[in-house]
Amino acid sequence: MAQRQASADDEAHAPDTARIQAALDGCAGSGGAVVLAASSTTAAFLSAPITVRAGEVLVLDPAVVLHASRAAADYQVAGRATCGTVGGAGNGCRPFISLSSHSGLASSAATGLSRGRVDGRGDLPILGGTASWWQVAASAKQAGKQNVPRLVAATRADDVTLHDVDLVDSPGTHVSFDHGDGLTVWGVRIRTPAGARNTDGIDPAGATDVTIARSWISAGDDGIAVKAGTAASAHISVLDDHLFGTHGVAIGSETQAGVSDVLVARVTVSGRDAFGALSVAAGGIRIKSSAVSGGLVQDVEYRDVCVDEVKYPLAFDPRYSSAVGTSIPTMTGIVVDGFRAIRSLHLASSELDGYDAAHPLGLALRGTAVDSARVDMAAADITTAGATFGACRSHPPRRTCA
Catalytic residue, from 166, 178, 221, 371: name it. Answer: 221
pLDDT at position 114 is: 87
How far is residue 381's CA from residue 165's CA, in Å, rounded to a whole number?
42
Is 2.160.20.10 the CATH number for 32-394? yes
Query: Domain spans of the chain?
Result: 32-394
Of 159, 156, 154, 190, the residue nearest 174 (C-alpha): 190
pLDDT in 10s for each residue of the chain, 402 residues? 889 999 999 999 999 999 999 999 999 999 999 999 999 999 999 999 999 999 999 999 999 999 999 999 999 999 999 999 999 999 999 999 999 999 999 999 777 788 999 999 999 999 999 999 999 999 999 999 999 999 999 999 999 999 999 999 999 999 999 999 999 999 999 999 999 999 999 999 999 999 999 999 999 999 999 999 999 999 999 999 999 999 999 999 999 999 999 999 999 999 999 999 999 899 999 999 999 999 999 999 999 999 999 999 999 999 999 999 999 999 999 999 999 999 999 999 999 999 999 999 999 999 999 999 999 999 999 999 999 999 644 344 445 786
Catalytic residue, from 102, 174, 247, 359: name it. Answer: 247
The SS3 of residue 359 is strand
Confirm whether 359 is a catalytic residue: no
Phi-psi region of 179 (alpha: psi -120 to 50; beta: other; left: phi over 0): left
pLDDT at position 111 is: 73
Q: What letter represents residue 277's amino acid?
A: A
**Helices (H), strands (E): how many in the chain?**
3, 31
- CB atoms under 10 Å from CB of 374, counted, come to 14
Dihedral sign from CA coordinates of 389, 282, 285, 293: positive
Of 264, 261, 210, the residue nearest 240 (C-alpha): 264
pLDDT at position 1 is: 86
pLDDT at position 151 is: 99
How far is residue 296's CA from residue 257's CA, in Å, rounded to a whole number?
8
How far is residue 86's CA from residue 75's CA, in Å, rounded to a whole number?
15
Confirm whether 235 is a catalytic residue: no
The SS3 of residue 73 is helix
170: Cβ contacts below 8 Å, ≥ 6 apart: 120, 122, 150, 151, 190, 192, 196, 199, 219
DSSP state of 76: B
